[in-house]
Structure 1
Amino acid sequence: MSETAVYGEAINSEPLKSEDEDDDYNDDEEESPSPSQSSPRPPISSNFEKDRHLLYLEMMYELLPCHYQSQEINRLTLAHFIISGLYFISARDRVDKDVVANWVLSFQDLPSHRGALQNGEFYGFFGSRSSQFPQDEDEGLTHNGSHLASTYCALAILKVIGHDLSTIDSESLLLSMRNLQQNDGSFMPIHTGGETDLRFVYCAAAICYMLDNWSGMDKEMAKNYILNCQSYDGGFGLIPGSESHGGGTYCAIASLRLMGFVGVDLLSNGLGSSIIDPSLLLTWCLQRQANDGGFQGRTNKPSDTCYAFWIGAVLKLIGGDAFIDKIALRQFLLSCQSKYGGFSKFPGQLPDLYHSYYGYTAFSLLEEPDLSPLCPELGLPLLATLGL
């Protein structure tokens, strides 16, 4: 099982964005055919086709189609979708844990000496081999550097397969991660030239949580940035003043949960003392379930498989998931289930790894039999995060 064969090029009728744009939380902004432009819809299965999903993920684990050649920089992200997906569908025996752990650890960016931690760079994980190429400014060669989203994906893989995270140089990682936090509390994903928004606040919070060490961020500053992103309608935009967005709202609520600023079942326990308005947030989230049963990421957008997780997980975190029309949501997801295994963004399209993974997480939220339960604040299989 070689690195090139397993994680080299990947799948996708609609490629992921570049690593600088993270794990595609702005998915509904991609250029994709609208539902009305999709190919004729195949007959909808009435079942979650676990065996087909297993075959799909096994194929991607061994050799990925050429459509992902342009996504070489996202190797760790793609690996996360495959490996964590296999754990969701109870196929952990298909993963060679030692080989995977050694491969992931080979992407950690380590400082040459302790003094280098003061140079402003981030010593996390690179997203791919190409982003590890040495920098030669005289030749005009630069590399992307280690990246917050890649670091989240690396730790997620290691946690899912049961690797001991204490073996990681977490001190260098966390000390240098503080270099990425901005004066307004937001985070840049790389040490220079990156955008700042809620996606990277979430990545930083998840990294600190998985390493059980919060020295990598100022939680109070991050909390204030998150609250500044809440819109008048109860949802959260990716940056202050922007339109409420399903991915941004997830990043906000999951980060606040991971940092300990909001508790379990916010609707029942936090109405009087919460730092956010949970009832307004509940209303905004429930309004995102469309007539076809799926969830949209923003107002007047088509339903999209991934928002069944982004919005569904928010509702789970605040204790409002009982209000989801789960039968209708299940039917929408099944309409996006491919006969080849995996899930597509819209009904009638080819599957891709991003939407397949969040299709599995969505079915886990719906308590599909034989799927691992979900840890909603990390977006990972619960049993794996508990070490079971």
Structure 2
Amino acid sequence: MYLAYFIISALDLLDALGTVSAGNERRDHVNWIYRCQHPDGGFRMWPGTDFGDRADEQNAKWDPANIPATYFALAALLILDDDFKRVKRRQCLLWLQKMQREDGSFGETLVDGVIEGGRDPRLGYTATGIRHILRGNTAGSISLGGQTVHDIDVDSFVRCVRLAEAFDGGIADAPFHEPQAGYTFCSLGALALVGRLNTPHKVNDAAPNAPCDPQNVLKWLLSRQTELTDPDAGLDTEFSTDNDAPDTQHAEGEHVSKDTGDDCAEPVRQDPSQSVGNSIFDLLVDGAGMNGRTNKVADTCYAFWVGASLDIMDCVTLCDQAAVRRYLLGKTQHDVLGGFGKYPGDLPDLYHSYLGLAALSLAGSDQLKVLDGGMCLSKDARERLPGLWDAWAFEDRTVT
């Protein structure tokens, strides 16, 4: 499902969805997504786990609905301008409420009544994305088809996010872990989707809210822009000399001993006079991408995770957007095949190609549709949501 989403949303950002696919093909895309809808609510990752007429209680554990798949399915339907009339909305929201643990985190699947999968912000983000698409800004219990559907525990989820905030401003997957840009985006995005986000410009009136120190988060995000691009190059040892530094650290964190004998070559050190690397290609293209953690090299996907986080915080223009565009177009875009790879010279893949396009849109490219960073899709697609919410408002009843 996520591969389908990357393709559909990328074509939408390129404003090519209506030209590279005929109307009957787009209807087939929609039908394939609904083919993955689970009878008890939510969506599968693919149709291969559906047992059809052979489904029973014993093999149900092999065919659960999936939180990320459900978000990607609903978002893809939104991009394809579906009317959502076939979405099992009530069953999906009932299932979503069961996917939250007591500590506020969300799992990935529900198997034999047990929440399975991780508990990091990626699942919280996709869970709140599902809630946002199917409920809008309606909080509390609602009545759908004569059945009461309870909301998720928003307060508990926000407290879960606050516990993972790090001292330096980033947000991790769990308390006391190292912060990372992907987890930071998912946390900020989820907070925005449930209306509990603090930004450098405004503290949210609802409580609890997060992050606790939005200025510190902003500082951490802006520190992610880096000219270090080659994962095989050594770090510049600014505060040491050959005599007082017995070890040198590889750019990806691997410690390599200097005193290893004649058969072990000295690790390559980046020349401080070369700000973007030490190849001819690097010298021709001056660009600064984003990394995901302190002292790491730039990576295509983090241009999105950081850029979208800044967009959610309403501060996207504070980074050097021109340098991000040069990094993506001049370093990680594949000259022959098209698309984007993870690092300069890498073969392109769907994941990095889509997030590369999304990052370019956030960095001000005029060749792409405007991206809504919070939902990772075009603003054109997100603007269809109020129409769905208005139609559902005639069906929903608030439960007091």
Tell me by how many angstroms 1:187 deviates. Answer: 0.4
After superposition, where does 1:353-368 map in structure 2 within 5 Å? 353-368=350-365
TM-score using structure 1 length: 0.73
Residue of structure 2 equivalent to 1:284: 220
* Match 2:33 to one of 104, 107, 121: 104
The alpha-carbon distance between structure 1 residues 271 and 152, as it changes in their structure 2 partners (threshold 3 A), is closer
Distance 2:10 2:151 in 1: 28
Higher relative contact order (CA 8 A, sep 6+): 1
From 229, 243, 246, the counterpart of 2:164: 229
Query: How far apart in 2 are the matches of 1:279 and 1:97?
Result: 43
Instruction: Tell me which residue corresponds to 2:304.
Output: 309
- Who is 1:46 aligned against? none
Distance 1:130 1:218 in 2: 33
- Indicate whether 1:207 and 2:207 are aligned: no
Offset at residue 135 of structure 1 (A)? 6.2
- 2:165 touches 2:172 (CA, 8 Å); kept in 1? yes
- Which structure shows the higher strand fraction? 2
One of 288, 296, 320 as aligned partner of 2:291: 296
Structure 1 counterpart of 2:315: 320
How far is the alpha carbon of 1:267 from its aligned partner? 1.8
Residue matched to 2:269: none
Q: Which amino acid aligns with 2:290?
A: F
Superposed CA RMSD in Å reads 2.2
Residues of 2 paired with 1:363 and 1:316: CA distance? 13
Post-superposition Cα deviations, 1:32-83, rounded to whole Å, max 9, x if no partner, equal xxxxxxxxxxxxxxxxxxxxxxxxxxxxxxxxxxxxxxxxxxxx11100001
1:336 corresponds to 2:336: no
Give ranges in structure 1 of 5+ residues lacking alignment.
1-75, 112-122
Q: Which entry has the higher C-alpha Rg, 1 or 2?
A: 2
CA distance in 2 between partners of 1:109 and 1:343 (Å): 33
C-alpha distance in 2 between matches for 1:105 and 1:216: 24
Aligned counterpart, 2:102: 183
State the partner residue of 2:3.
78
Instruction: Return the match for 2:64 from 115, 133, 145.
Output: 145
State the partner residue of 1:131.
49
CA contact (8 A) 1:188 1:200 kept: yes
**In 2, Cα distance between equivalents of 1:216 and 1:301:** 39
Distance 2:35 2:60 in 1: 22
Taking a change above 3 Å as real, the CA distance of residues 137 and 210 of structure 1, as seen in their structure-2 partners, is: closer
TM-score under structure 2 length normalisation: 0.70
Identity level (%) = 34
**Are residues 246 and 135 of structure 1, via their aligned partners in 2, closer, same or farther at CA, if it must alter by over 3 Å?**
farther
- Please identify runs of 4+ aligned residues in structure 1 that moved more than 6 A: 135-138, 271-274
Cα displacement (A) at 1:362: 0.4
Structure number with the higher helix fraction is 1
Amino acid of the residue matched to residue 262 of structure 1?
L
Aligned partners of 2:29, 2:205: CA distance in 1, in Å? 46
Unaligned runs of 5+ in 2: 140-149, 229-287, 386-400
